[in-house]
């Protein structure tokens, strides 16, 4: 064992179950089940890969508990019908084969679902009102039926061989909504005091405990805070935790946030890691049952320290295990540098929220976990042009399959992701090119840096296949003054330490422009973000939680958004814009004070060399930004697809 992580790999007993280490795969919806709740082979492979990777305690994504209104997504795991027991047992058997303790999370979506997900029935909530405006209030009879549905689901889980269940009492789902004084406006025995608001949860636990065996684990996941005014508070969470500990709950998982604060529920890279650990510590100090800490715990050293300090008894890894199912095994043997890094871009979250199958920006194997790379029958000479994420993934994958791979890069590995990672809030991205550098070396890829990809250099190497991943060039607006010394591209500016004390106009409000504006504002500059779009379209190339977090941070940094504005000219110390007035359809010219103008208008693919190579008869595969792809997610997926099929 690597003794640096001895706390992380110490066993723990919950009821009669020996958990081999303190690593928990927390519940994450994956949309990999059949529409009727049955697990697919794809889903079983997904969980099995992470059990094989060394997870001690695994909690499935939330399973719905009835055919009424409990479902949250189209292809969600189910525990709502006795007919699922044998299918669920196959999942259990596959995970148990690797020594992992397996728990199924039970949930009722309540006001968090969509009508189309539940057969266009009306959503339900503790109360109808402002914060559940499209839901109807549950009757007492319906509350009783929901309690029984949870109990029946727990009984099915035990019959299928699960080691326990976890009740999802957080994130604005139905049980969380009952806990919230903002949403729960009832005046009967299920509303008012915390004791009353928690009544439905206590009833579920007490009824379930009465029908399952003594070894069966019952856990609960809940918010330390809803992070909204009038919602469930930190003080509520401490009292609720103590309440749960007295009614037979075996462990507590501490999360945070609801839909309105979802950027803090699953914190993207703009926020610090471990934001919920202090809350877990406070709850652990208040109860005598095991507590799970969660929230951007990505580094084995950090996880080990959390256990050592007594902040929690277990640590939940979510996105980190999506990125690398072998996270525990690699940590245990000290191969931390080989852990594929989660960059907290939340593309995984966004896909599931859109009712699509789970995928990962950095791990293209997700969703294909049971399909190993097929060795090539005909090893070829493969030349990869460009060392961004697309090129690196293509080179790595092709080499692992047995091809002879050379990668040419004019600067350094990482491509555009390297300058993007220079702002402190983007440092998470730095881990990816470092990981690729190590993996390319291990796979036998010959990496040649500081070389321009030219026809001569390519002919010299005489490749069988060329993977063209050179990228894109920044767009230059056709306006007066754009070629002056006071104008710089965002990608160039991010290569150097930021200026300070200036008036700066950033032109372009995609994520590059927004992140650049935030970076400059956080370094004591007065920043105006100029966009021809409306405010609702700012950072529209990001997923919802990333956009929400970035806009919040821009607001805190006092970035001014100049919307519906088209740059007319750039002069000494100013930018002239034509700004539309949406209320009456007119436009007016405005002048913005600007010591520096930063361009972030997007990119144009570099295709000239690719077309030349194709005309010369080479087998060329075009990927990444050269194929109009701007996000790391798409770049890695394309690189893997090409590397897998050469």
- CATH code assigned at 294: 3.20.20.70
Q: Which of 318, 39, 341 is nearest to 162 (CA)?
A: 39
- Is 468 a residue of the active site? no
Specify whether 153 is located in the same domain as 269: yes
Interacting residues of 405 by C-beta distance below 8 A, sequence separation 6+: 382, 383, 384, 395, 398, 399, 443, 444, 445, 446
Provide the b/e sequence for 152-186 (b: ≥16 CB within 10 Å). Answer: bbbbbbbebbbbbbbbbbbbbbbbbbbbbbbbbbb
Rounded-to-integer distance, Cα 393 and Cα 371, Å: 17
Rounded-to-integer distance, Cα 108 and Cα 145, Å: 12
Specify whether 167 is located in the same domain as 198: yes
Catalytic residue among 5, 173, 251, 618: 173
**Residue where the block lists tokens 């968090």:** 112
Specify whether 320 is located in the same domain as 423: no
Instruction: Yes or no: say if 33 and 88 are a contact pair by the CB < 8 Å rule.
Output: no
Specify whether 271 is located in the same domain as 204: yes
Rounded-to-integer distance, Cα 588 and Cα 576, Å: 10
Provide the number of structural domains found in the chain. Answer: 3
Residue 376 within any structural domain of the chain = no
Instruction: Yes or no: say if 328 and 414 are a contact pair by the CB < 8 Å rule.
Output: no
18: left (phi over 0), alpha (psi -120 to 50) or beta: beta
Domain that holds residue 165: 3-353
> 389-400 vs 431-443: helix axis angle to the nearest 10?
30
Residue 320 within any structural domain of the chain = yes
Residue 359 within any structural domain of the chain = no
Q: Which of 254, 291, 258 is nearest to 275 (CA)?
A: 254
CATH of residue 517: 3.50.50.60
Specify whether 311 is located in the same domain as 450: no
The answer to whether residue 102 scores a pLDDT higher than 70 is yes
Residue 375 within any structural domain of the chain = no
The answer to whether residue 418 scores a pLDDT higher than 80 is no
Specify whether 299 is located in the same domain as 197: yes
CATH of residue 408: 3.40.50.720
Specify whether 629 is located in the same domain as 548: no
Residue 304 within any structural domain of the chain = yes
Query: What values do phi and psi take at 620, rounded to 5?
Result: -115, 130
Specify whether 38 is located in the same domain as 128: yes
Instruction: Yes or no: say if 401 and 378 are a contact pair by the CB < 8 Å rule.
Output: no
Specify whether 103 is located in the same domain as 249: yes
Residue 368 within any structural domain of the chain = no
Q: Indicate the helix (H) or strand (E) that contains 80.
A: none
Specify whether 138 is located in the same domain as 167: yes
Range from 178-192, 503-517, 538-552, 570-584 carrying the lowest mean pLDDT = 570-584
Residue 181, CA distances (Å) to 126, 232, 263, 265, 640 in order? 10, 7, 21, 19, 48
Q: Indicate the helix (H) or strand (E) that contains 323.
A: helix 319-323
Residue 480 within any structural domain of the chain = no
Residue 178 within any structural domain of the chain = yes
Specify whether 225 is located in the same domain as 148: yes
Specify whether 521 is located in the same domain as 573: yes
Rounded-to-integer distance, Cα 439 and Cα 421, Å: 20
**Residue where the block lists tokens 């709502």:** 80
Predicted confidence band of residue 478 (pLDDT cuts 50, 70, 90): confident
Predicted confidence band of residue 129 (pLDDT cuts 50, 70, 90): confident
pLDDT digits (tens, 9 = 90+) for 11-57: 999 999 999 999 999 999 999 999 999 999 999 999 999 999 999 99
């Amino acid at each position: 064992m690597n003794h640096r992580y001895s706390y992380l790999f110490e066993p723990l007993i919950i009821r009669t179950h020996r958990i081999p280490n303190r690593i928990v795969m927390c519940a994450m919806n994956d949309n990999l089940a059949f529409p009727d709740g049955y697990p697919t082979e794809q889903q079983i492979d997904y969980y099995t890969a992470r059990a094989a990777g060394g997870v001690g305690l695994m909690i499935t994504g939330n399973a719905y508990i009835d055919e009424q209104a409990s479902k949250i997504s189209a292809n969600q795991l189910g525990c709502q019908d006795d007919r699922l027991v044998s299918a669920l047992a196959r999942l259990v058997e596959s995970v148990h084969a690797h020594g992992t303790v397996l728990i199924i999370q039970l949930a009722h979506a309540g006001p968090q679902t969509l009508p189309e997900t539940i057969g266009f029935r009306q959503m339900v909530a503790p109360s109808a009102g402002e914060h559940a405006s499209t839901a109807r209030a549950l009757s007492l009879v319906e509350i009783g039926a929901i309690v029984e549905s949870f109990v029946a689901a727990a009984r099915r889980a035990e019959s299928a061989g699960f080691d326990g269940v976890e009740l999802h009492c957080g994130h604005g789902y139905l049980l969380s909504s009952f806990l919230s004084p903002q949403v729960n406006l009832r005046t009967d025995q299920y509303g008012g005091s915390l004791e009353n608001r928690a009544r439905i949860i206590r009833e579920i636990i007490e009824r379930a405990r009465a029908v399952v065996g003594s070894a069966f684990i019952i856990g609960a996941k809940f918010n330390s805070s809803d992070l909204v005014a009038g919602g469930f508070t930190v003080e509520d969470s401490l009292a609720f935790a103590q309440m749960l500990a007295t009614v037979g709950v075996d462990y507590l998982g501490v999360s945070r946030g609801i839909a309105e604060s979802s950027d803090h529920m699953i914190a993207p890279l703009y926020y610090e890691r471990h934001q919920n650990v202090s809350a877990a510590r406070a709850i652990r100090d208040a109860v005598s049952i095991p507590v799970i800490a969660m929230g951007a715990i990505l580094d084995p050293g950090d996880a080990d320290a959390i256990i050592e300090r007594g902040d929690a008894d277990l640590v939940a890894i979510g996105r980190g295990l999506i990125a690398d199912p072998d996270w525990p095994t690699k940590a245990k043997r000290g191969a931390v540098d080989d852990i594929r890094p989660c960059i907290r871009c939340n593309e995984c979250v966004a896909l599931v929220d859109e009712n699509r199958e789970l995928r990962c920006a950095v791990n293209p194997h997700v969703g294909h976990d049971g399909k190993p790379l097929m060795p090539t029958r005909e090893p070829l000479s493969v030349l990869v042009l460009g060392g961004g994420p697309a090129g690196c993934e293509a080179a790595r994958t092709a080499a692992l399959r047995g091809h002879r791979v050379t990668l040419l890069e004019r600067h350094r590995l990482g491509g555009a992701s390297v300058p993007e990672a220079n702002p402190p809030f983007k440092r998470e991205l730095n881990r990816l090119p470092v990981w690729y550098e190590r993996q390319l070396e291990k796979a036998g890829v010959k990496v040649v840096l500081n070389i321009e990809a030219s026809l001569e250099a390519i002919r010299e190497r005489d490749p069988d296949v060329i993977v063209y991943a050179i990228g894109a060039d920044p767009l230059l607006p056709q306006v007066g003054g754009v070629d002056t010394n006071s104008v710089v591209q965002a990608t160039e500016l991010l290569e150097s330490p930021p200026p300070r004390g200036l008036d700066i106009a950033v032109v372009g409000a995609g994520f590059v422009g927004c992140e650049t504006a935030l970076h400059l504002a956080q370094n004591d500059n007065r920043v105006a973000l100029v966009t021809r779009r409306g405010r609702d379209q700012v950072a529209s190339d990001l997923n919802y939680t990333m956009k929400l977090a970035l806009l919040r941070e821009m607001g805190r940094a006092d970035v001014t958004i100049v919307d519906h504005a088209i740059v007319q000219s750039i002069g000494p110390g100013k930018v002239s814009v034509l700004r539309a007035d949406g209320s009456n359809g007119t436009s007016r010219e405005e002048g913005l004070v600007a010591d520096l103008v930063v361009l972030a208008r997007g990119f144009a693919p570099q295709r000239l060399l690719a077309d030349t190579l194709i005309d010369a008869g080479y087998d060329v595969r075009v990927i990444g930004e050269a194929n109009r792809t701007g996000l790391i997610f798409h770049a890695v997926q394309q690189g893997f697809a090409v590397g897998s099929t050469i």
